């Protein structure tokens, strides 16, 4: 052990290479001089860093994955059967708050919208309430996907062509068209559905006294022969 005080050492060498005690070492060994040894201290994490580690918020994507996992366990199926990660990412980007908006998410069709839409939409709404900074961004982005569909329709492209090019289901594109029509855009919905189909949908609605947001009961009542998008469009035009 060495003692460092004003550059003095406990041991030194003479000209012959012998080890000798220094005056300081002599005082320590024989005169009772006390020496204070340095103590090693482990640097503690700052309080700020600890708080950050404890309060790291779970992002929406993780919350969506948690919900997907819960549903997968309920149905005893792999999680990807419910929705892929890419679909959850698109949900995170689009932040759908209605059934119509949920249908715009890549990988969401009418069947999955009916089956899972309400639970995922509820989760997204809760997230938007918790995170005040997300809402303005959503409002800024809203409507872009419908506008893209409208531009392609004006170019003369058919619904199947638009769906294929944009990576959506045809049902999602028809939902875009209904929304565009409700906004006053020049979209001729009657070119996609005839009056007979509208009458069938309205009759089914009256027979079932249908008041729900979900149109699955109508789909089942019509023996699953009328597609969801046509039921949705029939209800819209038959108001």
Work out the pLDDT band at 194, boundaries 50, 70, 90. very high
Residue among 207, 195, 209, 208 nearest 238 (CA): 195
Do 157 and 111 belong to one domain?
Answer: no
The Cα diameter of the chain in Å comes to 118
Instruction: Share the mean pLDDT of the chain.
Output: 79
Is 53 domain-assigned? no
Tens-place pLDDT, residues 207-231: 998 887 778 889 999 998 999 999 9
Examine residue 154 and state whether it is found in any structural domain, yes or no.
yes
Asked if the structure places residue 207 within a domain, the reply is: yes
Yes or no: say if 68 and 86 are a contact pair by the CB < 8 Å rule: no
What is the arithmetic mean of pLDDT over 16-34?
A: 66
181 and 232 belong to one structural domain = no
On whether both 76 and 136 belong to a single domain, the answer is yes
Does one domain contain both 108 and 131?
A: yes
Q: Does residue 54 form part of some domain?
A: no
- Domain extent, residue 9, equals 1-37
Instruction: Give the sign of the dihedral formed by CA 54, CA 47, CA 131, CA 91.
Output: negative
Nearest partner of 5 among 23, 18, 17, 20, judged by Cα: 23
pLDDT at 2: 42
pLDDT of residue 133: 55
**Model pLDDT, residue 51:** 39
Give me the number of domains the chain comprises: 4
Position 207 scores a pLDDT of 92
Length of the chain, in residues: 239
> Does the residue 45 lie in any domain?
no
The CA angle 69-103-99, to the nearest 5 degrees, is 85
**Phi and psi at residue 41, to the nearest 5°:** -120, 135
Same domain membership, residue 26 and residue 94: no
Going from the C-alpha of 234 to that of each of 40, 185, 196, 211, 223, the distances in angstroms are 78, 18, 10, 15, 16
Q: Are 183 and 156 in contact (CB under 8 A)?
A: no
Q: What is the pLDDT of residues 127-169, one digit of tens each?
A: 888 765 555 445 444 446 788 899 999 999 999 999 888 877 8
Domain boundary among 116, 141, 166: 141
For residue 17, pLDDT over 60 is answered with: no
Specify the residue for token string 């089956």: 115
Q: Phi, psi at residue 207, to the nearest 5°?
A: -60, -40
Per-residue CA distances from 103 to 10, 54, 146, 175, 203 (Å): 82, 36, 12, 8, 25
- Model confidence over 83-128: pLDDT tens digits? 999 999 989 888 888 888 888 888 888 889 888 999 999 999 888 8
Is residue 183 in some structural domain? yes
Reduce the DSSP state of residue 185 to 3 states and report it.
Answer: coil
Question: So what's the pLDDT on residue 216?
Answer: 86
Instruction: Judge if 135 and 77 occupy the same domain.
Output: yes
Given 108, 141, 174, the domain boundary residue is: 141
The answer on 113 and 169 residing in a single domain is: no
Strand partners, 12: 20
Residue 125 sits in the same domain as residue 157 = no
| Whether residue 131 sits in one domain with residue 155 | no
- Model confidence at 36, pLDDT cuts 50, 70, 90, reads low
* pTM for this entry: 0.54
Indicate whether 24 belongs to any domain: yes
pLDDT of residue 236: 92
65 and 128: one domain? yes
Task: Flag whether 50 is in a domain.
Answer: no
Identify which has the larger pLDDT, 14 or 195.
195
Confidence (pLDDT) at 26: 64
For the chain, where are the alpha helices, taking DSSP H only? 23-30, 47-54, 60-75, 79-82, 85-94, 99-102, 110-130, 134-141, 144-154, 159-166, 170-182, 195-208, 216-221, 228-237
């Amino acid at each position: 052990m060495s003692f460092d005080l004003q550059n003095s050492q406990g041991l030194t060498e003479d000209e012959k290479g012998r080890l000798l005690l220094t005056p300081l070492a002599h005082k320590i060994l024989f005169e009772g001089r006390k020496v204070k040894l340095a103590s090693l201290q482990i640097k503690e994490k700052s309080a700020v860093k600890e708080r950050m580690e404890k309060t790291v918020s779970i992002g929406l994507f993780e919350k969506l994955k948690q919900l997907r996992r819960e549903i997968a366990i309920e149905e005893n199926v792999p999680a990807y059967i419910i929705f892929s990660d890419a679909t959850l990412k698109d949900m995170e980007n689009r932040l759908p708050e209605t059934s119509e908006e949920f249908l715009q998410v890549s990988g969401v069709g009418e069947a999955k919208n009916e089956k899972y839409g309400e639970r995922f939409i509820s989760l997204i709404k809760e997230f938007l309430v918790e995170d005040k900074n997300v809402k303005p961004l959503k409002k800024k982005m809203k409507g872009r996907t419908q506008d893209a569909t409208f531009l392609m329709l004006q170019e003369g492209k058919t619904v199947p062509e638009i769906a294929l090019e944009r990576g959506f289901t045809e049902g999602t594109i028809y939902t875009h068209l209904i929304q565009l029509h409700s906004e006053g855009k020049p979209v001729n919905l009657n070119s996609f559905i005839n009056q007979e189909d509208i009458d069938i949908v309205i009759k089914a609605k009256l027979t079932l006294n249908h008041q729900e947001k979900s149109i699955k009961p109508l789909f089942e009542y019509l023996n699953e022969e009328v597609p969801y998008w046509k039921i949705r469009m029939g209800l819209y035009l038959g108001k």
